[in-house]
A and B are shown apart, each in its own frame.
Chain A
Amino acid sequence: MTFATPLIAGIVAAIAVPSLIILYFLKLRRAPLEVSTTLLWKKAIQDIQANAPFQRLRRNILLLLQLLILALLVFALAQPRTERENAGGQRIVIMLDRSASMASTDGDPARDGWSRLDEAKKRAIELVETLKEPGVLERCQADEAMVVAFDAAAEIIQPFTSDKRVLADAIRSVQPTDAPTSIGEAYRLAQAQRPTRQFTDNAGGTQPGQTMEIDGLKGGPSYTFHLFSDGRIPDAEVFQADAEQAGEPPSFEYHMVGDPGAHNLGITALRAERAFDDPNTLSVFVGVQGTEPTSRSVDVELLVNGTLTSVREVTVPAAEPAEPGMAARPGSGGVVFELTEPRGVTVTARLAGIANTPGNALRADDEGVLIVPPAKRSAVALVTTGSLFLSEALRGLPLSRFEIIAPDEYESRRVSGALAQFDVIVLDRYLPQANSAGAVLDPGRYLVFGAVVPPPQGVTDLGEGPAGQIIDWRRTHPVLRDLTLDGVVLGKTRPVEIPDDSGVVSLAESAEGPAIVEVSDGSVRALVATFDPAQSNWPFQVSFVVYLGSAVEYLSGSVTDEGAGSRQIQPGGVLSDRLPDDATDVRVELPGGRSQELVPGLDGRVVFGPVRDEGIYRLRWSGTPGATDTVEDGRVSREFASNLLDPAESDIAAAEKLGLADRVVQARQATSGGLLELWPFFVLGGLGIMLLEWWVYNRRVSL
């Protein structure tokens, strides 16, 4: 039995019980009665009291009964309650899957258009209704719940509260997205709410008895997770990883929504590529996946800038039936469209004529959009006193314009502002003169070889170093991910030190320290190789040409950090891009037609997201356009496409079991529970004793 409001009851008891006893001492308005003598009575009273002040109380059944009534009422005020399942206020995390597959309309076979998310929300609200209520006067001991909605990312819709109305409102506010599913972030988000576990050093260490905390090891009672999902979760094993840390595995309940037998047909791959040799040739690959047990043909339509240009039939083979221990493997097919298109275009692929057919419960994957940039070439200037390797290598790149400039001429052009026509300026063993603020690089994009850009923009030069090798490089960087620097031997290294709190990132390191650094200082972006390539074997390696090509592409803006050229975002991801420095009044237009203002960062970067829905996102701003941007009505426009394109998400059959790596949680269909409030019984008991007291009183009076 627990009490909702023990404190209030304690206070009332502390006031009422002594008051009752004092009143009992004071209450008697005794009826005067003349008797022949009080002699014997006084003796009798003395005998019976026997000098004990509480003797009178002990003998007084009426007071005892009244105290009993009071005790019962005080107990009732404490709102005692028992519950069938757990004692104490438990903490529940309601995890709502709002990923694309939850938009499938098989939530309830009896209700047309009732999506899995609608069903999940309904069941979650039912669960909330069974939570223990908080007390009337105190908020304690009630069950608390947190609502987390997740797709690829997670969001706390409602932090822990016991207010059922707030929780239900929060659950109702969850909207479906077109993003794939990942539960890991949601789980970590919920676990982050728990306090860090505290350890007490009892092992006779240096400071016995001292408590310490270890990041990541969580203490406090573990939460009960209620997952409302169709079970299409590829990363459910995060629970086990945490179970090893938290000591006890979190209690987990899986509420399955959706039909395990549901089928779907969807586009799971969409890719556009320009031929390397002929940028005007564009190939568009469309991958289609089906989960039906029979093979099926479907028409794929290709639209370029909204105009239907081509239709091809795709045959999707039958899905392989499920084997013991294995889920059914969906069948997949694909088609390639070839077209000649030098412009930047929007390519849309869609499955025709299946919108409302059975076997296609999910609509989000019936269409995909690609933004294909125009066949673009960059303008590059090489500032050098003469470098065979660089000039020849750059000349071999597909550039729109290439010019070799002497340092003197560079300075004069710099003054006249004639350098803005170049996308990238390559500085070979040369640094421009520093301006009054000490900055050597004007706003722009630079590729620097054999020179050290000093602070405040760059790094501290430590002088010439010994010979060395490149021993490590950042393989995830867009410029470096396609090449290897393994065999590069440097005749002379040029050790540098990266100042703290600078925007400089080391991309490649020799034994002496950073060898290639990226400088991004607001309007300036530069890739700086501190060593002189002419005094190394790098120019003789393929990686040198690849580096030059990647760097020019990267710096000229045709490549973003996120991926090559395609401007694709998966729902759940973040739209992130860098705008020209003079971009103002930046807005992002969402697929639904709404728009939202964005404030660019110092280096022109804008971030929007996570992106929820499929479709085209348009960044619009006033200012200079980039090389691939279009201009409409005086405002620059840059487009991004958001597509689901996730085979796991398109396979929508609800999972009846959820593998948690160490255990399997069966889907739970119904919820039970509820609380038994005990206070009415105490009040009734009090009334009963009051009747008994009345009877005793009457009996006493009629002695």
Chain B
Amino acid sequence: MLKSSNPTRPTTIDELLDPRLVAKISQLDLSSRKIFAGKLKGERRSKKRGESVEFADHRPYSVGDDLRHIDWNIFGRLDRLFMKMFLEEEDLSLHIVIDASASGDCGEPHKFFYMQRVAMALSYIGLVNLNRVAVTALGTRDPAVAPLGEQGIAGAIRDLRGRRRVQDVGRFLCSLSPEGSTDFGRAAKRIAMMRRGKGIMIVLSDFFMKEGYETGLRLLAGRGYDLFALQVLSPQEVEPEIAGDLRLIDIEDQDHAEVTISAPLLKKYKQNLSAYCEDLRTFCARREITALTVRTDTPIETLILDYMRKRGVLR
């Protein structure tokens, strides 16, 4: 919760991606409750009945069907025409949205560094499994620094595929620093318009957005993307360790609140925080968005190998 006085600023990919973690996550692949169409066939089964070699089902012939797919063996036995249906295989997009606003520059362990490492690990999994990977950073920036900075997008790389691109993702993530505020609604609209195809979208953020996260998530949830919201909180946000009479200053908009820390106030804060997280989960559940809240003192391995697999993001 407190702004980190000495935040970790990664400069190389090795800082983001621990080789021991690489060893553990190399066997993982992305998963989706839906099977999505992609441009590169053969790599991935699609939910669409299509042209793969793997049989899926039969259905009665209707006029106009491709004669090549009629199951002649059944015709021979039953004297009726049935169509053989096969699973279609297609590739998968992985779109990671990382919140690079100033609110990430807090906590011990550092929130943004944690998000960077998670984004790096997920990108690695996506890339080694030959998925199409895109990374977008949220956060308002000066347009001179980032072309879409005014619309709340601090930077983006797209259409990466294959192990060789891991370095590109690492460089991009290292170039980010948590600054400015968020404009999640406009940024989500922009992202939704820019993305192509279908796949998995993972949003890494603390979701502490004064303008509200609802509009943005609603925009991102459409268009055939399987949306995954990962809320990252520092331990200090969950269990504040402050006392006395304080003037709390919002790191993003310099808004302030004067508080006298007391046991009832802390209790109320915790109630509000859990209610806020619960609201987020309820909102996501209604829109088939998978939501997960994680503290930054949770090891990345636990998050990826345990929590995300259990929620069907990875397998």
Q: Please tell me if the beta carbons of A701 and B248 are within 8 angstroms of each other in the complex.
A: no
Q: Please tell me if the beta carbons of B276 and A36 are within 8 angstroms of each other in the complex.
A: no
Q: Please tell me if the beta carbons of A31 and B245 are within 8 angstroms of each other in the complex.
A: yes
- Measured in the bound complex, the distance between the Cα atoms of B6 and A8 in whole Å is 58
B108 → chain A, closest Cβ, in Å?
12
Q: Which interface residue of B264, B265, B276 has the most chain A CB atoms within 10 A?
A: B265
User: Is A415 in the interface zone, CB < 8 Å from B?
Assistant: no
Give chain A residues whose Cβ lies under 8 Å from the Cβ of B234. Answer: 36
What count of chain B residues pass the 8 Å CB interface test?
Answer: 42
- Which A residues from 519 to 572 make CB contacts under 8 A with B? none
Smallest CB gap from B102: residue in A? A36
Smallest CB gap from A37: residue in B? B208
User: Is B304 in the interface zone, CB < 8 Å from A?
Assistant: no
Give chain B residues whose Cβ lies under 8 Å from the Cβ of A702. Answer: 243
Give chain B residues whose Cβ lies under 8 Å from the Cβ of A34. Answer: 2-3, 248-251
Smallest CB gap from A56: residue in B? B260
Q: Which interface residue of A29, A35, A39, A45 has the most chain B CB atoms within 10 A?
A: A35
Q: Which interface residue of A28, A36, A60, A701 has the most chain B CB atoms within 10 A?
A: A36
- The number of inter-chain residue pairs (CB within 8 angstroms) is 107
Q: Mark B197-221, 1 if CB is under 8 A from A, else 0.
A: 0000000001010100000000000
Give chain B residues whose Cβ lies under 8 Å from the Cβ of A48. Answer: 264-265, 268
Q: A45-B257, A700-B243, A702-B243 are in contact. Are A40 and B276 (CB under 8 A)?
A: yes
User: Is A43 in the interface zone, CB < 8 Å from B?
Assistant: yes
User: Is B11 in the interface zone, CB < 8 Å from A?
Assistant: no
Q: A36-B237, A40-B273 are in contact. Are A703 and B266 (CB under 8 A)?
A: yes
Give chain A residues whose Cβ lies under 8 Å from the Cβ of B276. Answer: 39-40
Give chain A residues whose Cβ lies under 8 Å from the Cβ of B262. Answer: 59, 700, 703
User: Is A594 in the interface zone, CB < 8 Å from B?
Assistant: no
- Measured in the bound complex, the distance between the Cα atoms of B236 and A36 in whole Å is 10
User: Is A214 in the interface zone, CB < 8 Å from B?
Assistant: no
User: Is B259 in the interface zone, CB < 8 Å from A?
Assistant: yes
Q: Please tell me if the beta carbons of A703 and B106 are within 8 angstroms of each other in the complex.
A: no
Smallest CB gap from A42: residue in B? B257
Q: Please tell me if the beta carbons of A39 and B208 are within 8 angstroms of each other in the complex.
A: yes
- Which A residues from 30 to 63 make CB contacts under 8 A with B? 30-45, 47-48, 56, 59-60
Q: Please tell me if the beta carbons of A33 and B243 are within 8 angstroms of each other in the complex.
A: no
A33 → chain B, closest Cβ, in Å?
5
Q: Please tell me if the beta carbons of A28 and B260 are within 8 angstroms of each other in the complex.
A: yes
- Which B residues from 1 to 28 make CB contacts under 8 A with A? 1-3
- Measured in the bound complex, the distance between the Cα atoms of B30 and A460 in whole Å is 146
- Which B residues from 222 to 273 make CB contacts under 8 A with A? 234, 237, 242-252, 255-266, 268-269, 271-273
B166 → chain A, closest Cβ, in Å?
30
Selected from B242, B244, B256, B273, the residue in CB contact (under 8 A) with A38 is B256
Give chain B residues whose Cβ lies under 8 Å from the Cβ of A43. Answer: 272
- Measured in the bound complex, the distance between the Cα atoms of B248 and A42 in whole Å is 10
User: Is B107 in the interface zone, CB < 8 Å from A?
Assistant: yes
Selected from B1, B245, B258, B265, the residue in CB contact (under 8 A) with A35 is B1
B68 → chain A, closest Cβ, in Å?
60
Give chain B residues whose Cβ lies under 8 Å from the Cβ of A44. Answer: 259, 265, 268-269, 271-272
Q: Please tell me if the beta carbons of A41 and B251 are within 8 angstroms of each other in the complex.
A: no
- Measured in the bound complex, the distance between the Cα atoms of B208 and A41 in whole Å is 12
Q: A33-B242, A48-B264, A59-B262 are in contact. Are A38 and B248 (CB under 8 A)?
A: yes
Give chain B residues whose Cβ lies under 8 Å from the Cβ of A700. Answer: 243, 262
- Measured in the bound complex, the distance between the Cα atoms of B278 and A308 in whole Å is 129
Selected from A31, A36, A37, the residue in CB contact (under 8 A) with B247 is A31
Q: Please tell me if the beta carbons of A701 and B243 are within 8 angstroms of each other in the complex.
A: yes
Selected from B1, B256, B268, B272, the residue in CB contact (under 8 A) with A36 is B1
Q: A30-B245, A47-B272 are in contact. Are A37 and B210 (CB under 8 A)?
A: yes
Q: Please tell me if the beta carbons of A33 and B247 are within 8 angstroms of each other in the complex.
A: yes
Q: Please tell me if the beta carbons of A33 and B269 are within 8 angstroms of each other in the complex.
A: no
Q: Please tell me if the beta carbons of B249 and A35 are within 8 angstroms of each other in the complex.
A: yes
Give chain A residues whose Cβ lies under 8 Å from the Cβ of B1. Answer: 35-36
Give chain B residues whose Cβ lies under 8 Å from the Cβ of A31. Answer: 244-247
- Which A residues from 317 to 332 make CB contacts under 8 A with B? none
What count of chain A residues pass the 8 Å CB interface test?
Answer: 27
Q: Please tell me if the beta carbons of A37 and B252 are within 8 angstroms of each other in the complex.
A: yes
Give chain A residues whose Cβ lies under 8 Å from the Cβ of B104. Answer: 36
Give chain A residues whose Cβ lies under 8 Å from the Cβ of B242. Answer: 33
Q: A48-B265, A48-B268 are in contact. Are A30 and B247 (CB under 8 A)?
A: yes
User: Is B123 in the interface zone, CB < 8 Å from A?
Assistant: no
- Measured in the bound complex, the distance between the Cα atoms of B103 and A37 in whole Å is 7
Q: Please tell me if the beta carbons of A35 and B248 are within 8 angstroms of each other in the complex.
A: yes
Give chain A residues whose Cβ lies under 8 Å from the Cβ of B247. Answer: 30-33
Q: Please tell me if the beta carbons of B103 and A36 are within 8 angstroms of each other in the complex.
A: yes
- Measured in the bound complex, the distance between the Cα atoms of B258 and A56 in whole Å is 12
Q: A31-B247, A35-B248 are in contact. Are A45 and B264 (CB under 8 A)?
A: no
Q: A31-B247, A35-B2 are in contact. Are A41 and B206 (CB under 8 A)?
A: no
- Measured in the bound complex, the distance between the Cα atoms of B260 and A441 in whole Å is 106
- Measured in the bound complex, the distance between the Cα atoms of B263 and A44 in whole Å is 12
Q: Which interface residue of A40, A43, A59, A701 has the most chain B CB atoms within 10 A?
A: A40
Q: Please tell me if the beta carbons of B272 and A33 are within 8 angstroms of each other in the complex.
A: no
Selected from B3, B252, B258, the residue in CB contact (under 8 A) with A30 is B258
B43 → chain A, closest Cβ, in Å?
40
Smallest CB gap from A34: residue in B? B3
- Measured in the bound complex, the distance between the Cα atoms of B257 and A43 in whole Å is 10
A52 → chain B, closest Cβ, in Å?
14
Smallest CB gap from B208: residue in A? A37
Give chain B residues whose Cβ lies under 8 Å from the Cβ of A40. Answer: 208, 269, 272-273, 276
B204 → chain A, closest Cβ, in Å?
15
Selected from B210, B256, B258, the residue in CB contact (under 8 A) with A39 is B210
Q: Please tell me if the beta carbons of B264 and A59 are within 8 angstroms of each other in the complex.
A: yes
Q: A48-B264, A703-B266 are in contact. Are A36 and B251 (CB under 8 A)?
A: yes
- Measured in the bound complex, the distance between the Cα atoms of B258 and A35 in whole Å is 12
Selected from B244, B261, B268, the residue in CB contact (under 8 A) with A47 is B268
- Measured in the bound complex, the distance between the Cα atoms of B259 and A701 in whole Å is 13
Q: Please tell me if the beta carbons of B250 and A38 are within 8 angstroms of each other in the complex.
A: yes
- Measured in the bound complex, the distance between the Cα atoms of B262 and A700 in whole Å is 7
- Which A residues from 46 to 92 make CB contacts under 8 A with B? 47-48, 56, 59-60
Q: Which interface residue of A28, A38, A59, A703 has the most chain B CB atoms within 10 A?
A: A38
A371 → chain B, closest Cβ, in Å?
97
- Measured in the bound complex, the distance between the Cα atoms of B257 and A678 in whole Å is 46
- Measured in the bound complex, the distance between the Cα atoms of B247 and A321 in whole Å is 98
- Measured in the bound complex, the distance between the Cα atoms of B262 and A31 in whole Å is 15
- Measured in the bound complex, the distance between the Cα atoms of B104 and A421 in whole Å is 136
- Measured in the bound complex, the distance between the Cα atoms of B237 and A40 in whole Å is 10
Q: Mark B155-185, 1 if CB is under 8 A from A, else 0.
A: 0000000000000000000000000000000
The 8 closest A-B pairs by CB, nearest first: A30-B247, A37-B208, A36-B103, A34-B3, A44-B268, A36-B106, A38-B250, A38-B257
The 11 listed contacts between A and B (C-beta, < 8 Å) are: A30-B246, A30-B247, A31-B246, A31-B247, A32-B246, A36-B107, A36-B111, A36-B251, A38-B257, A39-B250, A44-B272
Give me 13 other A-B pairs in contact (C-beta within 8 A), A32-B247, A41-B269 excluded: A28-B258, A31-B244, A33-B248, A33-B249, A34-B3, A34-B251, A35-B249, A36-B103, A36-B111, A37-B208, A38-B248, A40-B273, A47-B268
